[in-house]
Amino acid sequence: LLDQMTKTLLRKRWLFPDEMKHLIHVTGERFPIP
């Protein structure tokens, strides 16, 4: 669910820098992001 939501948000490109950093931090703990 989180991965699908992240991809959708990235496609829409309306995330703010702070939200993006938070997503990277949260998802980075679950699986590595290249």
Q: What integer pLDDT is reported at residue 18 of this predicted model? A: 74
Query: At 32, is the pLDDT very low, low, confident or very high (cuts 50, 70, 90)?
Result: low
pLDDT of residue 20: 72
Q: In the predicted model, is pLDDT for residue 4 greater than 80?
A: yes
Task: Please compute the mean of the pLDDT values over residues 10-18 and round it to a whole number.
Answer: 68
**Using an 8 Å Cβ cutoff, are 15 and 23 in contact?**
yes
Measured distance CA(21)–CA(14) in Å, rounded: 13
> What pTM, to 2 d.p., does this model score?
0.29
pLDDT at 14: 63
Q: Dihedral of CA 13/15/16/21: which sign?
A: negative
Structure tokens at 14: 């309306």
Q: Which two tokens stand for residue 13?
A: 């490109």
